Structure 1
């Protein structure tokens, strides 16, 4: 899949990259996968000895007809068990969702899902079993797909949708006009809404480590909610000099989140913030269980 370019590094920021992966094209999307990877080393090596090199092995190359705008990994993906499985979905400029599956042996499959009538902004997998994938679009809809490529549910909203999050019971859909709605997946009805108080809302996320917390970036600010207390933000701070682009919670801490500036802007950097607010640090998307963070840059 041609979604990277040259060698990713952090030399320009004065920091050294922990690992470097040679690439052949522009980086548009970076997502950590849920795959379990084992590190092998000689039995005589001491625990505190530094590992100087890490070898990267290409498992499979997927050729994608168009540039990938967003990508999500299935929780079913695994390399440490048999049969091995790689599964992820993508969205591209042709307004289609593609589900790519491989056993890294002889079975390779691509399913194309059509239904959106405008640009797809975000997509995710159901986090427990990975049997469904919701996608949100500029066409004012959130569409939920199954692994057979069928559209099982459609939520129609009042403005373009910018991001979607799935917890075990509910779906959180964020609208560009500044409204976040929570949907019950059984009744398919909205059960709660949050209001940013300003627009445009660029990105939102639901905290996995503390499900009463929600967060977003709107304009150049970040905002945080306690959804048990009010539909309006409990805290709001400037995030970037120019417009902010993305908001993501840490998957292992309810007190850490990151924001990015919009690509191409002077403030196009990734910041990690700590609650209570004591400052922020510039770094180079986070892993769901390890203290790792990575960013793709054109």
Structure 2
């Protein structure tokens, strides 16, 4: 199935793609998987879709956006989070598709496929409450970390064995494995505490603290390992390690509770936040640390999820039967 769409001037999004169901979560593949274009995964109530997408900003032969669904997987439970493995390769022989999901039934699922007939799904059990985030190790992709409302961060191998567990003081909201810090893991808790754990010594080596709560989402800047960002209460919050455990900058951004924070993959000063805009809409705001005002404000009906393209200043939010893509100038 291939769709070609021009810029949609009737909506705030630069591009939109129709889906068959409400999109709970959406993730661009942050790794180079070969084959040209970018891979994207989105999760609905009971299935997950893998697609490739290419934009005219990266390929002048494309008219707007070219979106091609590659594979769909039955999931059996609501998808709450998606993590891509760096081992996913479209141009390998045979090709490999590997990703992990956090499901509403409190389990993790590791999917392996050759994009065709060979498909496997391994279920990882151990969490005792909802799983809020999951991530593959960025270097070799042979480990997975997850955080949950059960006040734990767990690290697993690909066979499903738990190889580490960190007890938290509140629900774990975000977990980040930085590609330049292979033996460190960032874990953000709902009460506003962010800790970086040493995976060799199995202990916290640095703590950051938000003055606002609840903290709903945090991210570690790809191009500046000293920079961490989050949303807590109505604010975005930025830390510059190791200056202080308290934020260097924060600013109210959403009138109703902020929900997600993501750094751009192509600019260390660019980030996006989402928050509630009334009962039925999600507000997206794109910020630049060098500018006092937002670069872009958009909204999506019943929007959820937030992810940046690997090399473009472009992010995506899911919604009711649509994906919404926003492109901004840096």
Question: Post-superposition shift, 1:197?
Answer: 1.3
RMSD in angstroms over aligned alpha carbons?
A: 2.3
Q: C-alpha deviations, 1:130-184, integer Å up to 9, x for none?
A: 1111010000000111111111111111111100111222101011011001100
Report the secondary structure of 1:233's partner residue.
Answer: coil
The aligned counterpart of 1:200 is: 214
1:222 and 1:55 map into 2 onto residues whose CA distance is 33
- How far residue 56 of structure 1 moved from its aligned partner, in angstroms, is 4.0
Gaps of 5+ in 2: 38-57, 300-306, 321-330
Contact 2:232 2:258 in 1 (8 A): yes
What are the equivalent positions in structure 2 for 1:108-127 lying under 5 Å apart?
Answer: 108-127=119-138
Aligned partner of 2:11 in structure 1 is 13
TM-score between both structures, scaled by the size of structure 2? 0.79
- C-alpha distance in 1 between matches for 2:193 and 2:252: 19
What runs of 5+ residues in structure 1 fail to find an aligned partner?
Answer: 1-6, 40-46
Partner of 2:241: 227
The question of whether the paired residues in 2 share the 8 Å contact of 1:169 and 1:185 is answered with yes
Label 1:292 to 1:53 Cα distance change in 2 as closer, same or farther (>3 A): closer
Q: Aligned match of 1:157 in 168, 174, 185?
A: 168
Name the structure 1 match of 2:44: none
Aligned match of 1:138 in 129, 149, 164?
Answer: 149
Q: Offset of 1:266 from its aligned partner?
A: 6.7
CA deviations 1:192-250 (Å, max 9, x no partner) are 10110121111111111000011111100011111111000001101111110001111
Tell me the SS of whatever aligns to 1:251: coil
Conserved? CA contact 1:242–1:267, under 8 Å? no
Distance in 2 between residues matched to 1:106 and 1:70, nearest whole Å = 25
Among 274, 297, 311, the alignment partner of 1:260 is: 274
1:184 to 177, 198, 204: 198
Aligned match of 2:76: 65
Q: Which residue of 1 aligns with 2:26?
A: 30
| TM-score using structure 1 length | 0.88
Partner SS state of residue 36, structure 1? coil
Please, which moves more after superposition, 91-100 or 277-286? Answer: 277-286
Aligned to 1:272: 286
Any conservation in 2 of the 1:245–1:260 contact (CA below 8 Å)?
A: yes
The count of corresponding residues between Structure 1 and Structure 2 is 282
Separation in structure 1 between the aligned mates of residue 77 and residue 23 of structure 2, nearest angstrom: 14
Asked if structure 1 preserves the Cα contact closer than 8 Å seen for 2:186 and 2:220, the reply is yes
Separation in structure 1 between the aligned mates of residue 8 and residue 106 of structure 2, nearest angstrom: 33
Structure with greater proportional strand content: 2
Shift of residue 276, structure 1, vs aligned partner: 2.2
Larger RCO, structure (CA 8 Å, separation 6 or more):
2
How far the C-alpha of 1:283 sits from its partner, in A, is 4.6
Give 2:297's aligned residue. 282
> What is the deviation of 1:262?
3.7
Q: Match of 1:51, SS? A: coil
